[in-house]
Structure 1
Amino acid sequence: MRYSKEIFFLLLLSFVVACGDSDDGGPVDNGPDDNGIEIPSTGFTSPNSYANRTLVWSDEFEASSLNLTDWTYEIGTGSNGWGNNELQYYTNSNTFIQDGHLVIEAKEQSLNGSNYTSSRIVTQNKQSFRYGRIDIRAALPEGQGIWPALWMLGSNFTSVGWPASGEIDIMEMVGGSGRENTVHGTVHWQHDGQHANYGGETTLSSGTFHDQFHVFSIEWDAGQIRWLVDDVQYHVIDTTPAQLDEFRNSFFFIFNVAVGGNWPGSPNSTTTFPQYLIVDYVRVFQ
């Protein structure tokens, strides 16, 4: 495509104006909210329907902003770094919608005593579910100290606390040291007053979960929870014992990207920012 000299001059003038200093004298943030990020064009896609199941709720992230009828931002550092010594400060400005995708951005950015910012969104008191198949199509961030999670807590969390509420981790990944090719599925509960957990993991034969989209799923009923990646099961737990009664209650969703913490460790000189968790959709079938 060719441009006339006049059009080229106007484009150049617009670019110079757009890149000028901010009014408050602070740094100009020409981040992904302004310029967009690269959304993967490949990866696994799950079906829109399943035999003998009905789609009861989904978010395809097609609106121009996060649907606050379904989601709430959790803000701050929580208690003791959200219980895990995490390093980020969660804000409502690190989440945006691009081209029909939810994007959660982790930044190296100083805010209220923290050196990193990110977002954590929940459906608590807005959307909760008991049993069914859950599909979440996502591409993951990468890097030492980066910890994305797609997970659920029992709807009675506020009244009974954790781990008595139960926790279902649909997908967790801890970045760095070549770990971006492995994801984990875990449940947490309370047994005889103590924290108990049971988890499994799966590793790609090639590439990482950053390279393209994958679908992270659970199939959950009164007797078991099964974990799948790209419709291949890799982990299961029998929840019929009475001590696992937490998993016969309703749960709400949490999507977040933590930075640092007990499990992944802190970022280091190899970690690049910003990092992005990109979610194409979340669907619940019952």
Structure 2
Amino acid sequence: MTPLRLLPWLSVLSLGCLACDPAGSRIDKPEQPNDSTPQPSNEWQLVWQDEFDGPANTPPSSDKWVHDVGGGGWGNAQLEYDTNKTENVSLDGEGHLVITARKESFGGNSYTSGRINTRGRFAQAYGRFEARMQLPVGRGMWPAFWLLGANLEESPWPDCGEIDIMEYRGQLPAIIRGSLHGPGYSGGNNIGGEYVVSGGKLYEDFHVYALEWEPERIRWQLDGVTFLETTPAKLPAGKRWVYDHPFFILLNLAVGGNYVGPPDRSTVFPQQLKVDYVRVYTRGA
């Protein structure tokens, strides 16, 4: 794959799962969500998917995914070098994509991992975006499932918009966060909230992380439970709602960074983000 780190949009942006305010709003639920895979209602029509079927140790489809390659911290002080090697991003032969973070020297960094996106392959405005995933665990692990505005070359971040469907700190395995980053509300000033699963250990099993996006309403879900909803009325006064154009999909597993801090001696490597599927729907007639 062509290394995308040389492109202007990657070299200047604070991308992906940007540092969030740890003191941001939290929504506590008394019980663990149902582990069964929820099915979208009949109002949703499937338009794009990757079930990650294929032989073990092969890369994800190049018709659907592009690798982001680089180790400059991605604007978030991340510690890994993201590669296009199958040791870091590959299918497992059992219907999963596996992004593996390793403790190893590469490209001037002390860790390797992977980040892939659908830029130039697929982008969509509005609809339902979901992924069934099993998260890693351990201090300094920062997996994310997120969207970035496909117009970023004409409207550099944060004007293009960013939607973090799910990001997570490996040292806090019962908490996920959903966020919006746009002009005047990005980085630590994003619009979002955390969802706390009481007694939950999200790394122990697969869960469905989803976003339902309408022209003036965005909802975040975990296993079919809506835990956050945002509308233009919730933006800071005078700030623009920029979620009215196609966005593309990203999946990554960062090591360290502003949001999670570095790994420590308790962190076991390798760590893995396993993705059973990614599916995108539009609302039916």
Interval of TM-score (by shorter of Structure 1 and Structure 2): 0.7 to 0.9
SS at match of 1:141: coil
Supply the distance in 2 between the matched residues of 1:193 and 1:181 (Cα, whole angstroms).
Answer: 24
Deviations 1:118-151 (A, max 9, x none): 0000001110010011121000001111100000
Deviations 1:207-226 (A, max 9, x none): 31100011001110101100
Counting only pairs closer than 5 Å after superposition, residues 164-203 of structure 1 correspond to structure 2 as 164-176=159-171, 179-191=172-184, 196-203=189-196
Counting only pairs closer than 5 Å after superposition, residues 252-271 of structure 1 correspond to structure 2 as 252-271=248-267
Deviations 1:142-196 (A, max 9, x none): 11111000001000113322111100000000122xx111000000000399985
CA radius of gyration, larger in: 1
Q: Which runs of 5+ in 2 are unaligned?
A: 1-33
Supply the distance in 2 between the matched residues of 1:195 and 1:201 (Cα, whole angstroms).
Answer: 14
The residue aligned with 1:87 is 79
The residue aligned with 1:51 is 42
Counting only pairs closer than 5 Å after superposition, residues 1-286 of structure 1 correspond to structure 2 as 43-47=35-39, 49-64=40-55, 65=58, 66-78=60-72, 81-93=73-85, 94-98=88-92, 99-176=94-171, 179-191=172-184, 196-239=189-232, 243-286=239-282
Richer in helix (by share): 1
CA contact (8 A) 2:158 2:186 kept: no
Supply the distance in 1 between the matched residues of 2:101 and 2:125 (Cα, whole angstroms).
Answer: 31
CA contact (8 A) 2:181 2:187 kept: no
1:111 counterpart letter in structure 2: F
Tell me the percent identity: 40
Supply the distance in 2 between the matched residues of 1:226 and 1:156 (Cα, whole angstroms).
Answer: 22
Supply the distance in 1 between the matched residues of 2:216 and 2:223 (Cα, whole angstroms).
Answer: 23
Distance 1:144 1:249, change over 3 A: same
The structural deviation recorded for 1:276 is 0.3
CA contact (8 A) 2:182 2:241 kept: no
Supply the distance in 1 between the matched residues of 2:67 and 2:177 (Cα, whole angstroms).
Answer: 24
The structural deviation recorded for 1:203 is 1.4
Supply the distance in 1 between the matched residues of 2:187 and 2:239 (Cα, whole angstroms).
Answer: 11
2:127 counterpart letter in structure 1: G
Distance 1:193 1:265, change over 3 A: closer
Which region of structure 1 is more displaced relative to structure 2, 191-200 or 109-118? 191-200
Deviations 1:31-87 (A, max 9, x none): xxxxxxxxxxx933132x532221010111112331110100010124xx1010100
Which region of structure 1 is more displaced relative to structure 2, 84-93 or 186-195? 186-195
CA contact (8 A) 1:137 1:214 kept: yes
CA contact (8 A) 1:163 1:189 kept: yes
CA contact (8 A) 2:131 2:279 kept: yes
